[in-house]
Structure 1
Amino acid sequence: ESPKLEHVLQPLDGVRVHQHLDVLEVCLGWERNNRYSIYNKQGEQILYAYEAAQCYARQCYGSLREFTLIVTDNDDNRLLYLQRPLRCSSRCCYACCCLQKLHILTPPDIFLAAVTEKWTCCLPEYELQNTEGDMTFTIEGDCCHFRCCCSINFVMA
């Protein structure tokens, strides 16, 4: 980990991620790159994240699209890149080869970890794997993760 990233993440015992609403997206249904503010438990913004995805992918593939999420500190220093390839959702295709996978990298493109989706029929569940491929911990979500305008909680175990 870079010293800047370690300085930001080390004291954390939880975070809240807030997605910025885009008026054009809400009114017109035109998908735009997502933006997020990341807060510590005291409500202080500690990180900012923004999506880099191609326009046609956002419109044609929706939430299944390939994207890179760039995470910066409050001074706009890039700390992490989260890269997800285009893959089918496990909910519509029973084959485990279609589960979501996300690579976490630090600049300049140093692999840090991977998050892989585990197949479940309704609860979202993910595993974080280190550089050797060993599972570090799991991330479990609420039963219903298609809620609009309310919090979705994930627990790390």
Structure 2
Amino acid sequence: MARVGLDPYGQPIIQQNVGFVVMAQPGALVTRPPPPPVVWMPKPSGGSGCPPGLEYLTTLDKILLKEEVNYLEMATNFVFENRYRILNDSGQQVYTAQEESTVCQLGWCSGNRAFTMHIFDNNKMEVIRLERELRCCIGTCWCSCLESCSHLIKVEAPPGKKVGYVQQKCSPLPPMFSILDEDKQEVMYIDGPCCVGPCTVVEFKVKSSKDDSKVGKISKKWDDVVQELLTNADNFGIKFPVDLDVKMKAVMLGAAFLIDFMYFE
């Protein structure tokens, strides 16, 4: 809380740390409670072979990807770089994510834009990096049959160490993606819904490439209608077996980002 001036009645104007200015009425000081503190998930021991920073994922079977609302974007209708919080099912923060793109990509390329997504742990160390190249097509099934046009995201954990890819597959109406290991061998695939629309929970099923058994899912969580109409802030739930290879959990996280940009950005 900080004083930023006086109102016409000579009373102080209070600036809150939530980004709003509150004007005090004559004879009264108006304050708002601060936002609740961020509770970070304790770091578990990852065991041998676990990439540094992915220890948090070893004990989880679901995570929530929550995009932060950008009020300046609402006011100006200009696209800004996205920011996210990544939470466990207890609401504890596991990671934060920050998009890096260019002004031209943000202004002209919309959800097809190239970006680097930096994912940080609670020590502000970058533990996962997602790289996506520009794709000029809009992601239709006929376009995705050309490898040079299909949407692709590379997942590194830690940065500089490839652990997998997510690539759009050539498919009929339902969108489909391949979840690949570091050698670009398909481990799982994503079977999307025929209809992607508001006012419902949209599920992208994750299945094993060996026997087509269901492994997990990526679900779009629609918020209130006003937020969906006025902002691009999206929420996704990601569910996977707790004993799934931690690298593949990181790749599934990358898949959620790719789906967000392709269909909801």
Deviation at 1:152, TM superposition (A): 4.3
After superposition, the Cα gap between the structure-2 partners of 1:41 and 1:144, relative to the gap in structure 1 and judged at 3 Å, is farther
How big is each residue's C-alpha offset from its partner over 1:53-107, in whole Å with a ceiling of 9 and x where there is no partner?
0011010101000000111112211111100000122228635221100000123
**Sequence identity of aligned pairs in percent?**
26
5+ unaligned residues in a row in structure 2: which ranges?
1-49, 208-265
Tell me the SS of whatever aligns to 1:10. helix
Shifted more, 16-25 versus 57-66: the winner is 16-25
Give 1:36's aligned residue. 84
Contact map agreement 1:83 1:103 (CA 8 A) in 2 = yes
The residue identity in structure 1 corresponding to 2:97 is A
Tell me the SS of whatever aligns to 2:109. helix
Contact map agreement 1:33 1:53 (CA 8 A) in 2 = yes
Contact map agreement 2:52 2:127 (CA 8 A) in 1 = no
Shifted more, 77-86 versus 7-16: the winner is 7-16
Structure 2 residue 190 is matched with structure 1 residue 156: no
Contact map agreement 2:128 2:159 (CA 8 A) in 1 = no
Rounded Cα–Cα distance in structure 1 between residues aligned with 2:184 and 2:194: 27
Structure 2 residue 179 is matched with structure 1 residue 91: no
The residue identity in structure 2 corresponding to 1:70 is H
Give 1:106's aligned residue. 157
Rounded Cα–Cα distance in structure 1 between residues aligned with 2:100 and 2:73: 16
Give 1 or 2: higher strand fraction. Answer: 1
Deviation at 1:34, TM superposition (A): 0.3
TM-score, structure 2 as length reference: 0.53
The residue identity in structure 2 corresponding to 1:81 is R
5+ unaligned residues in a row in structure 1: which ranges?
none
How big is each residue's C-alpha offset from its partner over 1:89-144, in whole Å with a ceiling of 9 and x where there is no partner?
22286352211000001234111101001134443322110012211112334444
Structure 2 residue 185 is matched with structure 1 residue 137: no
Contact map agreement 2:144 2:170 (CA 8 A) in 1 = no
Contact map agreement 2:129 2:159 (CA 8 A) in 1 = no
Deviation at 1:27, TM superposition (A): 2.4
Deviation at 1:16, TM superposition (A): 1.2
Say how many residue pairs are matched: 155
After superposition, the Cα gap between the structure-2 partners of 1:26 and 1:151, relative to the gap in structure 1 and judged at 3 Å, is farther
RCO higher in structure (CA 8 A, sep ≥6): 2
Tell me the SS of whatever aligns to 2:53. helix
Give 2:120's aligned residue. 72
Rounded Cα–Cα distance in structure 1 between residues aligned with 2:103 and 2:121: 26
Give 2:73's aligned residue. 25
After superposition, the Cα gap between the structure-2 partners of 1:123 and 1:74, relative to the gap in structure 1 and judged at 3 Å, is farther
Contact map agreement 2:127 2:159 (CA 8 A) in 1 = no
Q: Which runs of 4+ in 1 moved over 4 A?
A: none
TM-score, structure 1 as length reference: 0.86
Which of the pair has more CA radius of gyration? Answer: 2
Rounded Cα–Cα distance in structure 1 between residues aligned with 2:180 and 2:60: 20
Contact map agreement 2:126 2:159 (CA 8 A) in 1 = no
